[in-house]
Structure 1
């Protein structure tokens, strides 16, 4: 483990950022493509503009790579966080959501300073297994609406995609160099364009942003009434977010046979949320889709901060 400042030493920079550039870039590309539709979908669940979710996924993923405590774990969207935010946005609006996220970041930093992340070593393995199984169920259920009221082309593409993902790694040489999910995305996209197949695309879910986020502060009254409104949501967001993050970090620890700094991860999540919040975005975590990205990390070497 390294501290926040030690990770910028020449030795650590070389090891954690440039020791496997090809594997990190290819795996990162797969994760980025996979997160775009999820960021849009969970933004809709939370009741905010999909552009906010896309900006947030970008900002937090970049920031957490510098201040987080677990390489190979990407922070992005989850349904649990979106559901908590949905009630706040519906009842009080976007500005209160930004304030709640700001307070959430502060609470997460405090949790790191209090070393609450160290308590994860007392979590039983059965709990971790149950957590992973629950994630798999949630991911499956989240995809079910995409299979309703659709044509047979969609089912055919799903089958073809699964076949490529699981069979491509057996191709000599190249199968271990290029991530099979990346091959799947490129191959099926080109095929649908070539054949002119009418299937739902990311563009049908929301408009992609064409500008950069701007710095802003929540435009709300600074009084106790505001605090009592956002405090319950902030505690819920901090607790759920850290639980998901630390549980996923534990899973990655086991897969990579390495240790991670859970307390630093707590503080890193808080710092990332605060910085992202000042850009007018909201809190996001990766854990709802962690199984897919962790699998890609395990196969193609996404174990570093790059």
Structure 2
């Protein structure tokens, strides 16, 4: 069964994966060069990284069909390190990033993705779509009309060609046709070759030339920690999106380890740290890529083209690639999230919009996701806290007040729990029935202690009944209402 699964991952979609990988390889080249420029390093650093990361994640990754390479989110975090300490320290930081991500995989931190709500994922996707589009604007600013014409023609081919033929990916047709037209007509427009010098040799093993001491560790660790967190966040979020696009599952913890191994490989081959790319992953899926072969093809073809076919690759007009990326931006944005704003709860919309705004404003995916998760958690806690209520019944026969607690008692509902009791009522006995309640934290336990002690202060006999096993464990461990010595300390403090 395992053999058949692996065979399906590699060869279950042979033609689609090969063609999709070719499209992705063409689209990766200008991005890798651009991200190298952002980080302040030679273009070959980003190109070598993209090759290495794509190949390793194709083999070891937990999400078949996802594209990982050098990314802008990671490049932005490297700027200061490269500026202050140079390329060798960047390579060392890349190696440490890989180690931290592998450790995260073994600690099963990938499982934390279940705490990321759907509204945060939607906000993340929409923010990335906006950032992808904004990244194309420099190529469309202060240019001749030829650029707009080529870009428009590219979009026409991308959306029109599938009506004629759905076998060949329309982005590939767009790049090939527009490159041929630009060369034939001699159009004076910006090309891939204008971005920087392409490498003329294969990558070689290169251990970072830095001192192996604590001073080096102190320099690179803050950068490596940031790179590891942002890389894993973007990779795991992208994996979730590809899961939805392909209606398949993936192993998030395996993906953490895979990203770490890929960055280790990039570090010793002269490349910068990278992670999964939402834009390229969407291109891959939209072009028919589903298996590991598409990712492997993208990495291998990328290297072969920039080393052995660089004269041809350098002729590709940037306007053609801009058209492809605009298609990715349009396809990535979740348009239904805008249409459903009136239907969805206000809290859901606020989480989504906050995630979008923070990501676009800071250009930092980690900040946006963190803000969204925190806000979603606060809304959830507030909502669950409102579902807790207490009803009471008085028995005149034995002068007993019975309180029945229903719902979740935790930090957000503890105050409501305490306020529901009438401590001044003169009764002989109080029964607190917890059969339909659950206590989650020490704040809840403290509220129960406070209620019991206050009733006893007023002279009432208190009986707590119905604690479930989990609640009883935390109450026994942290509660004081049934421990005379502890009660004396609490009463003495007052």
Once residues 144 and 163 of structure 1 are traced to their aligned partners in structure 2, the CA distance between those partners, rounded to angstroms, is: 19
Q: CA deviation at 1:214?
A: 1.1
Structure having the higher helix fraction is 1
- Structure 1 segments, 4+ long, off by >6 Å, are none
Residues 154 and 178, structure 2, Cα contact 8 Å, conserved in 1: yes
Aligned to 1:177: 167
Change (3 A) 1:34 1:108: same
Aligned to 1:102: 95
Mapped pair 1:145 → 2:135: no
Task: Could you tell me which runs of 5 or more consecutive residues in structure 1 were left unpaired when the two chains were aligned.
Answer: none
Change (3 A) 1:78 1:248: same
Mapped pair 1:134 → 2:127: yes
Aligned to 1:115: 108
Structure having the higher strand fraction is 2
Once residues 280 and 55 of structure 2 are traced to their aligned partners in structure 1, the CA distance between those partners, rounded to angstroms, is: 19
Q: CA deviation at 1:148?
A: 2.1
What SS does the aligned partner of 1:207 have?
coil
Mapped pair 1:263 → 2:260: no
Q: Which TM-score applies when normalising by structure 2?
A: 0.58
Aligned counterpart in structure 2 of residue 124 of structure 1, from 111, 117, 122: 117
Mapped pair 1:294 → 2:282: yes
What SS does the aligned partner of 1:209 have?
coil
Aligned counterpart in structure 1 of residue 219 of structure 2, from 222, 229, 247: 229
Once residues 215 and 250 of structure 1 are traced to their aligned partners in structure 2, the CA distance between those partners, rounded to angstroms, is: 33
- Greater RCO structure (CA 8 Å; 6+ sep): 1
Once residues 279 and 194 of structure 1 are traced to their aligned partners in structure 2, the CA distance between those partners, rounded to angstroms, is: 38
Aligned to 1:25: 18
Aligned counterpart in structure 2 of residue 280 of structure 1, from 270, 281, 290: 270
Q: CA deviation at 1:302?
A: 1.0
Once residues 88 and 63 of structure 2 are traced to their aligned partners in structure 1, the CA distance between those partners, rounded to angstroms, is: 31
Residues 242 and 281, structure 2, Cα contact 8 Å, conserved in 1: no
Query: Please, what is the CA RMSD of the aligned residues?
Result: 1.3
1:198-217 correspondence to structure 2 within 5 Å: 198-217=188-207
Change (3 A) 1:97 1:292: closer
Residues 71 and 305, structure 1, Cα contact 8 Å, conserved in 2: yes
What SS does the aligned partner of 1:176 have?
coil
Aligned counterpart in structure 2 of residue 194 of structure 1, from 158, 171, 184: 184
Once residues 263 and 286 of structure 1 are traced to their aligned partners in structure 2, the CA distance between those partners, rounded to angstroms, is: 14
Work out which of the two has the higher radius of gyration on C-alpha atoms and give 1 or 2: 2
Residue-pair matches, total? 293
Aligned to 2:33: 40
Once residues 275 and 57 of structure 1 are traced to their aligned partners in structure 2, the CA distance between those partners, rounded to angstroms, is: 11
Change (3 A) 1:293 1:180: farther
What SS does the aligned partner of 1:213 have?
coil
Q: CA deviation at 1:284?
A: 1.7
Aligned to 1:254: 244
Mapped pair 1:243 → 2:233: yes
Task: Could you tell me which runs of 5 or more consecutive residues in structure 2 were left unpaired when the two chains were aligned.
Answer: 294-494
Once residues 88 and 215 of structure 1 are traced to their aligned partners in structure 2, the CA distance between those partners, rounded to angstroms, is: 22
Q: CA deviation at 1:197?
A: 0.6
Change (3 A) 1:194 1:296: same
Q: CA deviation at 1:295?
A: 4.5
Aligned to 2:78: 85
What SS does the aligned partner of 2:68 have?
coil
Residues 72 and 294, structure 1, Cα contact 8 Å, conserved in 2: no
Q: CA deviation at 1:272?
A: 0.8
Q: Which TM-score applies when normalising by structure 1?
A: 0.93
Once residues 188 and 53 of structure 1 are traced to their aligned partners in structure 2, the CA distance between those partners, rounded to angstroms, is: 25
